[in-house]
Amino acid sequence: MNLPTPLNKDWVATGKATYDLKCLACHKLSDEKLVGPGWAGVTKRREPVWIMNMITNVDMMLEKDPEAQKMLEECLVRMPNQNITQEDSRKLIEFMRSNDGEK
Ligand code: HEC
């Protein structure tokens, strides 16, 4: 699935605000691992739907998705459910795309 460009600037800003509040404690914007993997390149290695499921339905992903389970084995911490809406998860993806250099 290809998401449209140019990026929606308002969504990037809202996504960043959510990141600062709810994700920054565990995720860096570089490729460096903190508690969870750094976000650099995440939109290149994962499909948008996969990212959205990880954000809105992490328990299902950790139970069923082999890629998510592999990360859990490496990180040894379960990403908590943060009660993010579909709408906010889409804005987070816009922020991740911006972090990956999309305009
Ligand atoms: C308490 C720490 C923690 C917080 C807070 C957190 N995460 Fe995570 N996240 C993780 C861990 C750990 C993983 C790896 C999977 C696992 O072990 O559960 C992960 C994995 C991910 C992945 C997959 C990364 C990849 O490289 O494929 C995405 C996307 C993600 N988180 C998004 C978010 C978003 C968006 C937020 C904020 C709304 C958030 N996370 C908040 C710990 C956290």
Query: What is the pLDDT, as a whole number, of residue 2?
Result: 79
Per residue in 6-39, pLDDT (tens digit) is 999 999 999 999 999 999 999 999 999 999 999 9
pTM exceeds 0.95: yes
Ligand 1 pocket, residue 52 CB under 6 Å: no
Task: Indicate which residue's Cα is closest to atom 16 of ligand 1.
Answer: 72
Ligand 1 pocket, residue 61 CB under 6 Å: no
Q: How many of the other CB atoms lie within 10 Å of CB of 52?
A: 17
| Cα-based distances in Å from 96 to 7, 19, 66, 71, 73 | 11, 10, 22, 18, 24
Ligand 1 pocket, residue 77 CB under 6 Å: yes
| DSSP string for residues in 17-70 | HHHHHHTTTTB-SSS-BSSS---TTHHHHS-HHHHHHHHH-HHHHHHH-HHHHH
What are the structural domains, with CATH classification, of the chain?
9-99 (1.10.760.10)
Q: What's the average model confidence in pLDDT over 53-71?
A: 98
Per residue in 70-89, pLDDT (tens digit) is 999 999 999 999 999 999 99
Per residue in 32-58, pLDDT (tens digit) is 999 999 999 999 999 999 999 999 999
